[in-house]
Structure 1
Amino acid sequence: MNNTFSDGSPIEVVTDFAELVAANFEGAINAICWKRKLQGDFKEIVSKLQLKENITEVTANDLLSLQLSEQGQLAREIILNDMQSLTDFGASPALNLLKSYERDETFDFISTDVYSFHVDQSPIGTDTFLCTYYGAASDILPNEQAVQKVLIPEIREKLKDLHNGPDEDFEAFLREYYFDLHYQSKPNASPINLGSGHLWRLAVQHPGQQVLPCIHRAPVERDGEYRLLLIC
């Protein structure tokens, strides 16, 4: 019933939503996947939604207002069921129609946008849930295949120059601007693509977390193609 993708993978696979939320992160496992092959035409839903901004939140009422084929209706029912399951669990799911995220081009030596490998952080115990219904999907990276960018000597020296303050305040400076949440993949690293249709639960960095947080990144969008992503 439960298994990992491969030896050394940080992923555990489950068969339904109840297992997804009940499974525990432990050891190297910091990503849990409800692996599934979805029926329905999600492309039709994307084609009938209106992009108002680069990231447009889509409500349940927006979905229900669409005139869809039978396959489109199947896809809509799956999305609505996922949103309801997560809401009943106590999460706050958001369905986003995405053209692109904002890029961070402030510095040429480090980026803090979601296209950079990073971990999510919270002051309270929580997890990140996500599912890509259509379009390019995110990647995760086993923790041993990455290094914190702030520990890379040349980046660290440039950040110290940028800080230009007392040494004892430097770590607080890194946390304040979220530099410490971003990672560089090691040579020969093998990112794992999260694929379409699967519902994922990723470990977040928080005070009570018992495992390393899951390192992940948003994909570069395909030309002319929007993404439909459920996230919370």
Structure 2
Amino acid sequence: MHLVSPSPSVALVSNFNDLVTTRYQGTVNALCWERDLIGDFKEIVNCLTLQDHVTEVSAEDLSVLNLSLQGDLARQIILQDLQQLTQIGAAPVLNLIQCYARDDELDFIATDVYSYHVDRSPIATDTFLCTYHGAASDILPNAQVQQKILIPSIREQLRALYDGPEAGFEQFLTEYFFDLHYQPLPDAKPINLGRGHLWRLAVDHPTQQVAPCVHRAPLEQDGEYRLLLIC
């Protein structure tokens, strides 16, 4: 029984090697290593200290926690994920999250991580993430979104905001990351990434062969921190 709902944009794998070696093809731009993890991840969250709205937790921070057997099982899973991703050249970060910064400077478009967006890189790379505790991110198939800068009302307001020659307007949209953000279509059906699964999402880069994966951070539950691995 699959833990993740099937979708034309998602391919399921059963181990770490397949996660990092399977190629995106066609409409598939998200790969999921489905896992039903054991251990008490909430205990880890309760033992950590939030120092800012988003606090990076190192492997050393995890190692010194005084945990029960179930808490230690969860810790070993996280440490293994960090190690495996590091070994393939990624730079994973474990974050304890209360909330992210919100972008409310413009009332007609947001560019924070709560807005549906894609990641961009000048080099070939992927986004890996796993939610161990708390609310999980959502993704949307590219056929179910519209780039916000192509929505006439938003584009008109961005043109009014832009103070420069017409030839530089597209560069302005890229420079301030407006072009990375998307609006769900009325019939869009978000796919929740769930807890415990390790995901690999396609990034917009010069050699990418598929559309980048559209995703967003979830709104946090009141009083509940998220424990997220991301790179």
TM-score under structure 2 normalisation? 0.98
Q: Does 1:65 align with 2:64?
A: yes
Q: 2:145 is matched with which residue? A: 146
Could you give the per-residue CA deviations for residues 61-82 of structure 1, whole angstroms, max 9, x where no partner exists? 1001100000000000000000
Distance in 1, Cα, partners of 2:130 & 2:8: 19
SS of 1:180's partner is helix
Q: Does 1:197 align with 2:196?
A: yes
SS of 2:169's partner is helix
Kept after mapping to 1: 8 A contact 2:220/2:226: yes
Q: 2:120 is matched with which residue? A: 121
Which amino acid in the other structure matches residue 52 of structure 1?
A: Q
TM-score under structure 1 normalisation? 0.97
Could you give the per-residue CA deviations for residues 100-137 of structure 1, whole angstroms, max 9, x where no partner exists? 00000010000000000000000000000000000000
SS of 1:81's partner is helix
Superposed displacement of residue 168, structure 1 = 1.0
Q: 2:41 is matched with which residue? A: 42
Q: 1:10 is matched with which residue? A: 9
Which amino acid in the other structure matches residue 200 of structure 2?
A: R
Q: Structure 1: which 5+ runs fail to align?
A: none
Q: 1:178 is matched with which residue? A: 177
Pairwise CA RMSD: 1.1
Q: 1:29 is matched with which residue? A: 28
SS of 1:20's partner is helix
Superposed displacement of residue 50, structure 1 = 0.4
Identity %: 63
Which amino acid in the other structure matches residue 37 of structure 1?
A: D
Q: 1:77 is matched with which residue? A: 76
Distance in 2, Cα, partners of 1:136 & 1:190: 17
Distance in 2, Cα, partners of 1:93 & 1:172: 31
Q: Does 1:225 align with 2:196?
A: no
List, as ranges, runs of 4+ consecutive aligned residues in structure 1 with deviation greater than 4 Å: none
Which amino acid in the other structure matches residue 147 of structure 2?
A: Q
Distance in 2, Cα, partners of 1:131 & 1:155: 33
SS of 1:84's partner is helix
Kept after mapping to 2: 8 A contact 1:5/1:12: no
Equivalent pairs, count: 229
Kept after mapping to 1: 8 A contact 2:147/2:183: yes
Kept after mapping to 1: 8 A contact 2:5/2:191: no
Distance in 1, Cα, partners of 2:18 & 2:206: 24
Kept after mapping to 1: 8 A contact 2:119/2:204: yes
Could you give the per-residue CA deviations for residues 22-45 of structure 1, whole angstroms, max 9, x where no partner exists? 100110000000000000000000
Q: 2:50 is matched with which residue? A: 51
Q: Structure 2: which 5+ runs fail to align?
A: none
Distance in 2, Cα, partners of 1:66 & 1:173: 47
Q: Does 1:98 align with 2:90?
A: no
Which amino acid in the other structure matches residue 134 of structure 1?
A: H
Distance in 1, Cα, partners of 2:60 & 2:14: 29
Could you give the per-residue CA deviations for residues 182-214 of structure 1, whole angstroms, max 9, x where no partner exists? 000000110000000000000000000000000
SS of 2:12's partner is strand
Superposed displacement of residue 164, structure 1 = 2.8
Superposed displacement of residue 59, structure 1 = 0.3
Which amino acid in the other structure matches residue 78 of structure 1?
A: I
